[in-house]
Amino acid sequence: MYARTICGEVGRTVAVSLVALAMTAASARAQASASLRPSPQVSTPAPRASANARPDDAGAFPPGPLPPDVLRPGVTVRPAGASCILRIASDRPITYSLERRGHRRRLYLDIDGKDLDIPATWHYDAGNLAARIVRTASASGSAELEVEMDRPLRYEAWLGDDGRAVLLQLSPPQQRFVPDNRWDRVTIDPGHGGRDPGTIGPGDIQEKSITLDVATDLEQLMLENGVDVQLTRTSDTTVDLRPRVDLGDEFRSNVFVSIHMNHSDDPAIHGIETYYFTPKSLPLARDIEDALVRSLGAPDRGVRRDNFVVVKYAIEPACLVELGYLSNPGEEAHLDSAWYQKRAAEGIMDGVLAYLHDRPREIERGSARRGGN
């Protein structure tokens, strides 16, 4: 019922204005500034029909007055509407992995292709996006790109050109709620992990796996909505209870949410419960419970008070959500499905944003008691 290490925001403005190899530094800066200047004439790629339908090269690089900035043979970057797309091509099929680890504003793109001619470091700045990109050598000998951003960004990568190119798209968040940046820090705690599997359903589904999946979805949704977010674990690792609380306090969180699944000896019992301990946490628990019931359509089993460690000792308002009963076969099947996990993440996010939006004065007083930012 409790766990996750820190994963954070994907920063705000993406980077790539490179030192061109046969030019003076002044000339290189001038050309990068001219070629990367945003233009309203650059069209945005057409919406994708499904998660599996990726734009081809023509869609990823729409026609327009701005030519791609060629950083090396096979490496280009250019604006695409409000987004920016980095394309790395090879003359043979390549594979890649993309992950965020440790720092909230860093992405790591690992590309299997030792012969790729990729610059060691470059910057991209198009006004609305900025980032620094550094190439390092991974343990496998492939090319690893560290993308460091200055604010939360949406990101996506996919293969193009029949698997011979990888494209990384970075986009500004599409905010439904614009938070006050002084008070918009959230800690998400995926319950259990590592040697502690949590409860296990009749279909052998482990609680620790679902909590991590939901927390990962929730983290991305929070980032897209401009919320500074961290996770108490980002993989199947063991994290003790008090260190989870300490992570939230050290982050100066406004909200701490621990994600769990329930269990009962009666397999017919199912539904959502949200727990709190201190009176200041009750409004948060109510907002999250209401939003989850709306999002999932599951029975409302109410907001309850209990002295779970992660809600009892947190300085900030904290609650523990039980998204359903793994002991109920039907609810276990729902909780193990990607679409239900995404709906659960959306429900938690809606509850947290309702709390942050409706109670800014309460949040400010709570932060002031901790000494502010």
For the chain, which residues make up each domain, given as ranges?
Answer: 25-35+51-171, 185-369
- The arrangement of strands across the sheet holding 95-99 comes to 95-99, 106-112, 143-149, 130-137, 121-125
Q: Are 265 and 327 in contact (CB under 8 A)?
A: yes
* 98 contact partners, CB below 8 Å, separation of at least 6: 107, 108, 109, 110, 155, 157, 168
Report residue 330 CA to chain centroid gap.
Answer: 29
Of 65, 42, 47, which is closest to residue 129 (Cα–Cα)?
42
Using one digit for the tens of pLDDT, what is the confidence trace for 303-313? 999 999 999 99
Tokens of residue 283, six digits: 């409004």
Using one digit for the tens of pLDDT, what is the confidence trace for 195-238? 999 999 999 999 999 999 999 999 988 887 778 889 999 899 99
Report residue 263 CA to chain centroid gap.
Answer: 29
Amino acid 339: pLDDT: 92
Amino acid 173: pLDDT: 64
Domain 185-369 has CATH 3.40.50.1110: no
Tokens of residue 317, six digits: 């308002």
pTM over 0.75? The answer is no
Q: What topology is assigned to 25-35+51-171 in CATH? A: Immunoglobulin-like (2.60.40)
Q: Give Rg (Cα) of the chain.
A: 22
Using one digit for the tens of pLDDT, what is the confidence trace for 143-200? 888 887 766 667 778 888 778 888 888 877 654 444 444 457 899 999 999 999 999 9
| pLDDT, averaged in runs of 10, over the chain (373 residues) | 36 32 36 34 32 43 59 78 80 83 71 76 74 72 77 76 83 52 78 95 95 93 83 92 93 94 96 96 95 94 96 95 97 94 94 80 42 42
Of 244, 136, 266, which is closest to residue 191 (Cα–Cα)?
244
Amino acid 127: pLDDT: 66
- In angstroms, the Cα distances linking 341 to 138, 257, 260 are 33, 16, 12
Amino acid 95: pLDDT: 87
